[in-house]
Amino acid sequence: MSKNFNVAIAGATGAVGIEMIKTLEERKFPVKNLTLLASKRSAGKSLRYCGQNIAVQELNQNSFDDIDIALFSAGGGRSKEFAPAAVNSGTVVIDNSSAFRMDDSVPLVVPEVNPEDVKKHHGIIANPNCTTIILLVVLKPLYDLSRITRIIVSTYQSASGAGAKAMEELRTQTSRILENKEITVNAFPHQIAFNLFSHNSTIFENGYCEEEQKMVNESRKILNDQSLQICPTTIRVPVLRAHAESVVIEQERKVSVEEAKKILSDASGVRVIDDRCNNKFPMPIDVNGQDFVAVGRIRDDISSENGLSLFICGDQLLKGAALNAVQIAELL
């Protein structure tokens, strides 16, 4: 007999939380009761799930008393504060923040890449950073063909990666600029409409930012390969939803374009969009609201012997966050 689970979403009103609710419904996750949690500001609001209105409750230390699985998406501070209490009450936490990702006792899981790591959990499983998930869903099949030794990746990250307020800021700034009105800059450090800038995370002494460092550390942990060399550049662009990444890889042996296309066409969670005749390659609008990660522009790297060049797009609210978390819950 199949079991139904009491599920909670912490951060249910956020950009990721809303997608989690939809994903649980669309994938028919066996939910007995769904508890929606957010800040005091949202307590009493109601959100739709499977045709019912569910009232949002304020997240607190007792929120998890009866919960089997909690999907956390309310920022790292809330994960650190509330996930231990949830684990103590027997809940398995799937955490979207960076709070526990590099903790050795916490598996960091992309179901298409390292599903077996789920079994190693002690109550918390971490969802990787969105750019890392999207990258590795495409690179893992190529890695399995021949070990990848080096990755050079540049990202084009949408406003939604920074949450609901950042999406609203892109919309508002765009319409105000088109109406020749003054704009305000709050959610990002710089104007996002009609502009792009280096990712809005802390810059470290070596010149790399936190987002870039996450891609390096998390990719190595997920692939269990500390010698993998990665040079990332992360950029925020005025796209509302879905991230893109330009990627160059070097492998131990030469993998041909044909071989790469074949393996990627058969890969789970990947769709090849590579129509050279019509200059049609992955675009954010192709993957908006979609579960798959699109890959195209699959070319030989003409500057190195064993190199391949690729262009990737994925909906980071779904595969980069909500969908990956629900897939982990399915593995459980």
**Which residues in this chain contact ligand NAP in the complex, by CB under 6 A?**
11-17, 38-39, 41-42, 59, 73-76, 78, 96-97, 130, 160-161, 163-165, 316-317, 320-321
Written as one string, the DSSP assignment of 191-208 is --TT--EE-SSPBPTTS-
C-alpha to C-alpha distance for 303 and 61, rounded to whole angstroms: 55
Largest separation between any pair of C-alpha atoms in the chain: 62
Among residues 219 and 316, whose Cβ is nearest to ligand NAP? 316
**Sign of the torsion angle spanned by Cα atoms 170, 172, 177, 182:** negative
Query: Residue 48 carries which DSSP code?
Result: E
Q: Is 121 a catalytic residue?
A: no
Per annotation, catalytic residue among 121, 199, 243, 313? 243
Question: How far is residue 173's CA from residue 266's CA, in Å, rounded to a whole number?
Answer: 41
**Which residues have CB under 8 Å from 149's CB, separation 6+?**
227, 228, 229, 250, 251, 252
| Active-site entry in 50, 121, 122, 130 | 130
CB of 97 to ligand NAP, least distance (A): 4
Report the amino acid identity of residue 280: K
Question: Is 243 part of the annotated catalytic residue set?
Answer: yes
Q: Compare residues 87 and 164 and give the one whose CB is closer to ligand NAP.
A: 164
The least distance separating ligand NAP from the CB of residue 12, rounded to whole angstroms, comes to 6
Residue nearest ligand NAP, Cβ-based: 14
Long-range contacts of 287-294 (CB under 8 A, 24+ apart): 287/242, 287/313, 287/314, 287/315, 288/241, 288/242, 288/315, 289/315, 289/318, 290/315, 290/318, 291/315, 291/318, 291/319, 291/323, 292/319, 293/134, 293/137, 293/138, 293/269, 293/319, 294/270
Closest approach of ligand NAP to the CB of residue 161, in Å: 4
Cβ 56 to ligand NAP shortest distance, Å: 7
Comparison of 75 and 107: residue with beta carbon closer to ligand NAP: 75
Distance CA 272, CA 154 (A): 19
Q: Measured from the CB atom, is 59 or 125 closer to ligand NAP?
A: 59
Shortest Å, Cβ 15 to ligand NAP: 4
By beta-carbon proximity to ligand NAP, the closer residue of 167 and 310 is 167
Looking at the Cβ atoms of 125 and 272, the one nearer to ligand NAP is 125
Mention every residue, 6+ apart, whose C-beta is less than 8 A from residue 1.
none
Tell me how far, at minimum, the Cβ of 188 lies from ligand NAP, in Å. Answer: 13
Residues known to be catalytic: 130, 243
